[in-house]
Structures are given as structure tokens and as C-alpha cells.
Amino acid sequence: MKAYVLLAALLSSALLLLPPAATSSAPRPPPPASKGSSSAGAEGPQVDPRPRDYVGWKLLRIFPSSRPLLTALVASLRNSSQAVVVQVSQEELLADVGLPPKASLEGVLSSALPSPLPPLRSLDAPDAAHATPGREDQPRAEKKLDECQGAESPAGEVSLTRSKRRFSLDFLNWKTLPGFVEEKAKLDGTEPLAWDDYYRYDSIRRFALNLSASLPHVEYLDIGRSFEGRPLFALCFASKAADMKKLFKKKLLKLRRLRTKRGRDPDLAVLQKRNLVTRKRKTSKPYVLIEAGIHAREWIAPAVATYLAQELATLGRKFLKRVTVILAPLTNPDGYEYTHTTDRYWRKNRRTTPTPSCPGVDLNRNWGVGWGDPEGSSGDPCSEVYRGPESFSEPETQALRDLALVWMEKIRLYVSLHCMGRVILHPWGFTRAPSTKQRQLARIAKVMAKHLHRNNQTFVFGQTSHVMYTASGTVEDYMHGAGVKYAYTLELPEDSFELEPEKIIPISKAVWNTFLCTLGEIIKTDGIRSFCKTEKATGKLRKKPATKRKKT
């Protein structure tokens, strides 16, 4: 009986990942493009209009009396819009089917199977008074089943042998399996992080606050508010994190006063010079800036970022004596929450625009370097790459910019976590001309690809405008233009925005190990290199794919 309950629980978990009217192996058809979106700006599928919430559904196990009837039943149900076929066993002559809360099996079969419908009986009913009405031949079918099976019944035994089915009468018995989708309600933001699912904004923020409160080398940085008023935050990992937080507040106030006075940010040339001077000082500790979640639908990015945060916290001060890490795990909280509640494939933030039916700005087209280039972004609010009315028009990009500007002269490595495609991208994206640091950028990208490969992840790498497409106003280009020598976008696996939660930890571990080893190659000190532990891998690395990929 325990095995039976376990099987039911496993089946219910599997159904959560299935779209309606599809089998567990059938791919979900691409949904139609949303109204008002331009073809030039479309960057992937829009949200599937069919229901994705299976809470309240019931799982039925149907026992057809013959193999031909089982085949006909499954074929019909797979074409039904009201059912999901979860499992079929030709050996046991059974099929497990999910139905919506208000749907009846007889109603679904009446529209799915040709008339006349075979006799149908619920094995949930303790007596004939609870049997499905309108079936005068049910007692005969039940009697025939008892004759063929002896004292056994599908209600008490899951496995039915072939020898007990030597009869020709077609009939359908069914029973309800316990412990279905009600056991896994939709996440509401109160859950602690465990990297076994894609958690809501509130859970991610609470994780960051708890990490900061419990460890002296971790500090929570309040960097602003989103368009809808959600706190924007980052985590500072440093040997003297409390001093770093005080310095951050002081420098941030100074930066904003100077911006108000001048009416502009420091010139990029000035930032580049400061960064170069700082890098030449051997006593200067290098900084790393990691950002994730700038595109709302790319759920794997914040998941990996929070995993990196946990690993950084665990590694502790021994590592942080040599490097300081600033990590912003979710830079587009409004859009991220919208993907959990309304539109799974939403990309932008939730800014109101001149076109009320087309809200949102692409936060990765809103940065100062290359902003406004029509080839790499759009001025149409209905486009998914809408760049906004001006550079840094959005509170989310302003907050991340100011976070970077406070320590811009010390940042050696910048990594933006995205999804999808298994690609390591480096500047420039807004032009096909190479960076003056092209050789160094390519060398470290190759190192990253090598270590990802050693961790069972195969990536390609190259300049954004060559490998993917022209993208103007990106954060990667801005960071590089402001003096960050090594600036990268890491497009995490796979060729989908919907990765199974089981893949979070393997991908996160690969990124973590790659981060440690890449940092050792950049900083080139034995203290940092000692944290890199890899095994030899086989296979060749490719500089770039043969064809450009679709925009993400």
C-alpha cells in the first residue's frame, strides 16, 4: 500500500509539469504572438493562454477490459481538451488520467469516445447505489470482472495479470487515486529557499535578509525601489562587510549630490582611467559584480544567483580576504512577480508607457552605451526590446548603475546571468567592431567555457553582436565602457525559459565552480587559484555557433 501511495504522489508531481491535453512526452505547442507586438521585437513565445494551475484536479485510474479498448481510450483522451493522460500501461491494462475539478469522467468520455460508450463503473462506490447512473448493464460488467479475477479487484490490487482478463466484454472500471495536486499548492513567497523550485520575490528577499543577519561577512544593501515600489537590493560579501555598507551609503549620497549638481554621471573616459589606475595598484583588492533577473521570464538566473550567494557565505572570510563580491540576485522584481501571477513569458519591467496596452521597458536596452540604436533595440512600446524614452529612465537600471558606480574603479569582473542558449557573450553588442580588449575578453571567455565543460555544461562563446545579434543599450556594454575590463553575459542552459526545478542545483554548481576558477585566471594569485578544483575534461570548445541565435 505504501508503494501505491508513493506512485500516486509521483504521478501527481509529474502532472504539475504537463500542459493540459498533452502527454508527459509531448512538447507544448508554441502559443500565438500577443496582440500589438511587432515581429521585429518578438523574442520568443508569449504566455500560453491555456490553464497552467492544476490545483484541485483529480487523478483517475481507468481499467479497460481489453487492449483495443485501452488503445482507443488513450487516443481519444489525448485529443481531448479536458483531460491529461499521465501514464499508460499496456502490461497492466490501465491508464492514469487527470481531469479538471468540475469535469466528470462520463462527460469527458462521451465527447472523446464514439457512441455507444462502454459500460462505466466507479470502483470508489461501496455499493450499486453509488454507481454511475444510467448504466443498466453495470451489474453484468461487475459480475464478469469478478468471475475473471476471482476475489481480487482493481480497487484493492493495482497489478492485474493477463490470465485474469480472458473475456471479450468491453467495459471501463475506474477509481480515484489519492494525494493529488492539492498537496502542492502554488508558492506564495513565504517559503524558505531550498533550490528545489523557482521561488517568489518575497522568499528571495527574505533569504537575503536572513543571510545578512546571520553572518558578519554578508551585508544587505538597499539600492532603491522598483517601478511598483518593491525594494531593490544587493548583497555585499566582504571580510569587513559592515564597513563596506557604511562606505556604500556615504559614496551613494555623494554620487547623487554630484549628479544633481552637474546634471549628469561621470564621463565614461574618467571612469575608465580611474579603473585602470586602481588595477595597477598591487595592494588594491579586486571587486566582482554579479547581476541576475533583469529579464523577468528567465527564472533560472535568480535561482543560480541565490545559490552563488549561499556558497559565498559558506566559503567565508578566508576567500573574502582576497576578493569582494557584490551580488544583485533579482533586478526586475515587478516583472518577475508578473511572470508568476499572470504571464509566464513576460520579459520587461512594468512601467506604464504612452501605449497603455503595451506596458514595460526592456531593462537590458535602457543603458547609456549604445542606447537608441534602432538596430539593437526599439522605440515601439509594444516591442519586447523597447528601450524606454531615454537611457536610465527606469528606477531598476538607475539603482544597478549607482551600485556599480560606487565601486566602479575597483570592479575587475562583471557577470550578468541570463537564460537561454548556453552562450558566453562579451562586448560589444551595439556594434560589430571589436573591443580594444578583445583578445583578453576572448581568453577569459574560453576559460569559462572550459570550466563549464568540466562541470558537464557545454557552452559556446564570442562577441555578442557576432554570436547572437546586435543589442544596444545593454548593461554588459555599459560596464565595459565604464572601465570593467572583463564584462560578460552568461546565457544559462537550455533552449527554453522553462527548466525543470531539478536542473537548478546542477547548473548552479557548474556556474559556482566556473566562477572560482575564472576568478583565479583573472586575478592570478595563488590564494584565489587554490579555491579552484577541477577535473580534466575531453572535447573541443567552439568560439561561436554557426548561426546567430534568436533574441533573449
Kindly list the catalytic residues.
491
User: Which of these, 301, 279, 393, 305, lies nearest to 347 by C-alpha position?
Assistant: 301
Q: Could you give the CA distance from residue 26 to residue 28 in angstroms, rounded to a whole number?
A: 7
Backbone angles phi, psi at 489, to 5 degrees: -110, 125
**List of residues 6+ apart from 106 with CB closer than 8 A:** 117, 120, 132
User: Which of these, 137, 166, 135, 139, lies nearest to 150 by C-alpha position?
Assistant: 166
Could you give the 3-state DSSP secondary structure of residue 237? strand
Could you give the 3-state DSSP secondary structure of residue 159? coil
DSSP string of 193-205, one letter each residue: P-SSS---HHHHH
Q: Could you give the CA distance from residue 512 to residue 56 in angstroms, rounded to a whole number?
A: 39
User: Which of these, 133, 319, 129, 335, lies nearest to 227 by C-alpha position?
Assistant: 335
3-state secondary structure 405-426: HHCHHHEEEEEEEEECCCEEEE
CB atoms within 10 A of CB 494: 17
Q: Strand pairing partners for 60?
A: 97, 176
- Take residue 321 and report the three cell numbers written for it: 580576504
CB atoms within 10 A of CB 447: 19
